[in-house]
Amino acid sequence: MDTSERHQRMTLENYLGAYFKKNQGVRLGETTVISHKVHGNDPKTPGEIRIYTNTDAGQYYLKNPEGDLVLHMDVFHEPACLDPVYVARRVWQGIDKYFVQLRNENRSLFTQEKTKELSKMMVQNIVIRTSGGSGTIGELSNNKLEQHDKTGKPETHVHLLLSIAPKYYDSIIFIADAVEQAILKHGFEIRRVERILHCEKDSEPSPGFGIGFGLPGFNIPEALKHRRHQNRLQIIMNLASAFGSIEDAARFLESLTTTGNIFLGSFAKKHTDGGLKQTLLDLSNANIVQKKRFAFVLTEEGQELRSFIRGHQKELEAQVRKSIRRYQIVRHNYRTYRNSELKSRKSHLTDHKKVLNSTDHSWLTDIAIPETVVSASARSFLEGRPRMTVTKKDFKIFGKKSFAPIDTCISIDCSGSMVGEKIKAVSYLAEHFLLTSKEKVGVLSFQEMEARVVVPFTKSYQKLQDGLRSIQPEGLTPLAKGIVESIKLIKMKRARNPLLVLITDGIPNFPLWTMDAQDDALKAAKMIAENRIRFVCIGVIPNETFMKQLAAAGRGNLYIVDELNKNSLLDVLTSEWEQYKYRK
């Protein structure tokens, strides 16, 4: 079996297994939900599927004495009466296709006879139910229905119960695809699952509730157009992820039309050779680019894609920002060494939405003039006065609100070792943090012999992107210079509750004051503590010893991660920021 294929199978097995052990369900693709539990949903919120964590599907539907033996799969569609025989035959074809693939991957282990036997066993252990009837795949394929009601009420999902060994969990993908194709061949729409909720079941589930947001069937011209549009959007999002923004994706496609663009200029500097080659290979497979003798050029479809990006750039950028905000942080295991308990200080502002009666001690605060006039006018009228008079008791004042703003400076090691995925992960961290925290973010890079401010403290996403686009990792690691310039930026901009985040995968190799780069970096770190700046270091295992010394010198907190990727960085910084912001 090919190593990558086996890895994919194990990944799916481990992925599903991890969720099932937590009594949780998983959404596969857009339309399918699978778990060991009973599913249901409320017609008032049709896009939400409930996983009843206290009700095992095998015990409930099949009266099994033990739990966690049966997988419950629902594939959602518009209200329709589906022929269970047709669905079952399509699923059997999908299962046969799955075992043919296994045989092609390892003919010594999966002979033709063996795969036929496994396929026949699997179809006897899968129950399907639609509004037209129910039964095992084997029974239905032979027109044997446990129940059949041609006038039955339309259902909104195909219900399946599967008894499958974990090592064959990857067959689920083939089964779900076969069910979707059966729905579409009937001429009905498949429906999107918006989200999954986990809760306990207090009453009987109500089967057949619908799911909103229909997607068109694949057989009609409108569906083909829709599918092509979705594929185009996926390519664009992949390019934006690879190059950092929609703008850079557009520039990359434009660079492919330049004669002699063998090395693709600055794009080659920002990405590892393997990463750039893989992107070009993916575009070639999607018929977006074509390799000529001395250059890559856009195909006709690629030119349409480039024009589409330029024509819809604002909408695409908004979609990217939305996806960054909604990114679900994956929790990691990391080692942490804590040296700082520095607390954020609150600021007090006038709250114009909160109006209070004045007191003897509140005359120096902001007066709510409209509310004061209304109060005085009402009192004067009730007292029968010919004109309005204002007394002390009429005065209304605005209340106060307190908050602890945190201005974050991200200091990035932009030496040659950070090229590729690492620098993209750091850029993603800065974008995510600005969009979700709504606080000011500044970015400083250090490389070669210098450090420079890439993004001054800002709340502007566009300014942040423009600055990040200028980063090109190369050269040495002047860590001391990076720390000193970060402190200068924080002091010059009078950052509020400053948080300095240092991200590096190496140790300093270019000095600032002496000939010892590491000693200079430790001296610079002491300046962080002297200026009462909350300090966070994020480093990797090989440099743990020096990073511990650096964090101690700056009285900061150190996080040692296995790899500098966006998941580990987001997890660390979010955790640290929340501790700093909300600490009393």
Which domains occur in the chain, in start order? 3-217 (no CATH), 222-325 (1.10.10), 353-401 (no CATH), 408-582 (3.40.50.410)
The C-alpha atoms of residue 46 and residue 422 are separated, in whole angstroms, by 40
Q: Which residues are paired to 297 by β-bridges?
A: 290
Q: What is the pLDDT of residue 169?
A: 86
Model confidence, pTM: 0.56
Q: What is the pLDDT of residue 211?
A: 28
Q: What is the pLDDT of residue 276?
A: 75
The C-alpha atoms of residue 218 and residue 345 are separated, in whole angstroms, by 58
Three-class secondary structure of residue 339 per DSSP: coil
What's the CA angle centered on 392, arms 390 and 396, to 5 degrees? Answer: 85
Buried b (16+ CB within 10 A) or exposed e, 298-325: bbebbeebbebbeeeeeebbebbbeebe
Tens digits of residue pLDDT in 478-508 = 999 999 999 999 999 888 889 999 999 888 9
Query: Cβ of 148: how many Cβ atoms within 10 Å?
Result: 15
To the nearest whole number, what is the mean pLDDT of the chain? Answer: 81
User: What parts of the chain have a pLDDT lower than 50?
Assistant: 1-8, 148, 151, 203-219, 259-260, 262-263, 583-584
Taking the CA of residue 172 as centre, how many other CA atoms within 13 Å lie in the half-sphere pointing to its CB?
Answer: 30
The C-alpha atoms of residue 474 and residue 287 are separated, in whole angstroms, by 33
In the numeric block, the tokens 């998983």 are attached to: 26
The C-alpha atoms of residue 377 and residue 373 are separated, in whole angstroms, by 6
How many secondary structure helices (H) and strands (E) does the chain include? 19, 23
Burial of residue 216, with CB atoms counted within 10 A of its CB: 0-12 exposed, 13-18 middle, 19 or more buried: middle
Buried b (16+ CB within 10 A) or exposed e, 408-423: bbbbbbbbebbbbbbb
* β 557-561/335-337 pair status: antiparallel
Q: What is the pLDDT of residue 225?
A: 66
